[in-house]
Amino acid sequence: MMTARTLKVASVLIDIEGELRRLYLWECETPTPQAMASTEPFCIDTMSFPQWVQHIFLPRMSRLLEASEALPKRCGIEPMAAEYFKNQTIDGEGLIRAFRTIDEILS
């Protein structure tokens, strides 16, 4: 059974996917198995931040929600999103805001 907290998380995950698509950052191709196996935070050595969000974060969070498993007790993705978008030519404020919301819900 989904709680109010998990429903909020699910809603924000949908917003994150929508923002990635709106910004044309959603990719059709999956990264290589080697890229997916990175042990670095955010797979920083093998993927861009949007790739990590699409191929690691969103699927992992969706699996937790679908299985009614415990969500992380804390999250700190907003600073990474802000860092990524500060040097980009596109406006990532919508994604940054969504990650701020996720961080607040999970912390």
Given a cut of 70, whether residue 20 has pLDDT beyond it is yes
The verdict on residue 33 lying in a domain is no
The CATH number covering residue 90 comes to 1.20.1440.40
Residue 101 included in any domain: yes
The whole-number pLDDT of residue 79 equals: 96
Q: Tens of pLDDT along 35-59?
A: 999 999 999 999 999 999 999 999 9
pTM, two decimal places:
0.93
Report which DSSP code applies to 87. Answer: T
* Structure confidence by residue, pLDDT tens digits, 84-98: 999 899 999 999 999
Q: Could you give the count of Cα atoms lying within 13 Å of 18 in the half-sphere of its Cβ?
A: 9
What pLDDT does 2 receive? 75
Number of domains forming the structure of the chain? 1
